[in-house]
Amino acid sequence: MKALQYRTAGSAPEVVEIPVPQVGPGQILIKVTAAGVCHSDEFVMNMPAEQVAPMLPLTLGHEGAGIVHELGEGVTEFQLGDAVAVYGPWGCGRCQNCAAGKENYCSNAAADGIRPPGLGAPGAMAEYMLVDNARHLVPLEGLDPVANVSLTDAGLTPYHAIKNSLPKLGAGTTAVVIGTGGLGHVGIQILRALSGATVIALDVTEGKLELAREVGAHHAILSDSGAVAAIKELTGGRGANAVFDFVGIQPTVNIAAAAVAAEGDVTIVGIGGGMLPVGFGSIAYDAAVRTPYWGSRSELIEVLEMARRGQITVEVETFALKEAPTVYERLHAGDIRGRAVLLP
């Protein structure tokens, strides 16, 4: 089968021919219908050689959807032909967090060497993908795989981040979304659907700000040295009750810290390496700083339900698997509108 693999540290990913995976007991083989392209893939491909080497060659793709193609011994939860989405943050399934569906915070994953597909285990950018357990599949139930595959990360991650701040986002409040790309443009829609907040979006190009407005941002402003003053002005000097940073580089983390209101939340989702040293007086009184990772199994079901009800839509650009290397170049250049999805 064809697969997109990151094979040599520092080189571009390549489309290669590899064997279709063998299905073991309890496992499920899906025929991939869609695979989303996330900025985190670039993070993996920028990791130092000695750190990434043990994972190579790595079939990329941690946003996956497919059709159940083969069932391993003992699997009864699904039938051949079922359309499914893959829950990506795989855990051990037996610790307390996994028992609560929060496999993204599995206590044993690191020690047991459990890695998410596309981020250590073979991922979805291939004709077939092996899923380790039925627990990690959610039925699509009528949702189009291409339009919705990215909800498994670009929907689930902002949903998890935003859900924890909802008690602070009642009527008359303000939420700021920094970075209106794959995650951010879904985040804006989740905020509009679930909170009473006025949404202010920040990005670096007029095209991205236009997308932000289209998906529901009340205000969309450039992420520059004037951004904090603009947020203060729009909030009558109070600042934002929650800031979601979907970039996470030093300049955006600085904006987030300076723009948050007293008792507000700063949520750093982007893994751009920005740091926020917090001490008394360095940030608004009683502000909280969080660094969430992905989301829980039940939250994925909730996100898919929002899509079914028409509350969120992913802006998708589709590409063939062989175009993937160019897609990553475009993503790096900030040239993808919404999410790029590969059709293996």
Binding stretches for ligand NAD (CB under 6 A): 38-40, 43, 153, 157, 178-184, 202-204, 208, 223, 246-249, 251-252, 269-272, 293-294, 331, 334
Measured from the CB atom, the residue of 55 and 222 that comes closer to Zn ion is 55
**Checking DSSP bridges between strand 58-59 and strand 63-71, what pairing results, if any?**
unpaired
Positions touching Zn ion (CB under 5 A) are: 38, 40, 153
Measured from the CB atom, the residue of 82 and 299 that comes closer to ligand NAD is 299
Sheet holding 2-6, edge to edge: 14-17, 2-6, 58-59
Select the binding partner of residue 122 from ligand NAD, Zn ion, none (C-beta < 5 to 8 A, by kind).
none
Select the binding partner of residue 334 from Zn ion, ligand NAD, none (C-beta < 5 to 8 A, by kind).
ligand NAD
Task: Give least dist CB 202 to Zn ion, A.
Answer: 20
Select the binding partner of residue 319 from ligand NAD, Zn ion, none (C-beta < 5 to 8 A, by kind).
none
**Checking DSSP bridges between strand 83-86 and strand 63-71, what pairing results, if any?**
antiparallel
Question: In 32-101, which ranges are continuous DSSP H helix?
Answer: 39-45, 49-52, 96-99
Residue with CB nearest Zn ion? 38
Select the binding partner of residue 57 from Zn ion, ligand NAD, none (C-beta < 5 to 8 A, by kind).
none
Q: Which residues have a Cβ under 8 Å from the Cβ of 329 and sit 6 or more positions away?
A: none
Measured from the CB atom, the residue of 204 and 276 that comes closer to ligand NAD is 204
Task: Give least dist CB 248 to Zn ion, A.
Answer: 13
**Tokens encoding 247:** 């970039």
Please tell me the distance from the alpha carbon of residue 164 to that of residue 176, in angstroms, as a whole number. 15
Task: Give least dist CB 97 to ligand NAD, A.
Answer: 15
Residue with CB nearest ligand NAD? 181
Measured from the CB atom, the residue of 316 and 321 that comes closer to ligand NAD is 316
Task: Give least dist CB 228 to Zn ion, A.
Answer: 28
Task: Give least dist CB 140 to Zn ion, A.
Answer: 19
Please tell me the distance from the alpha carbon of residue 70 to that of residue 79, in angstroms, as a whole number. 9
Q: What is the DSSP letter of 183?
A: H
Q: Which residues of 209-233 are buried (b: 16+ CB within 10 A; e: fewer)?
A: bebbeebbbbbbbebeeebbebbbe
Neighbours of 97 (CB within 10 A): 17
Contact 161, 175 (CB under 8 A): no
Residue of 189, 193, 149 lying closest to 316 (CA atoms): 149
Select the binding partner of residue 176 from Zn ion, ligand NAD, none (C-beta < 5 to 8 A, by kind).
none
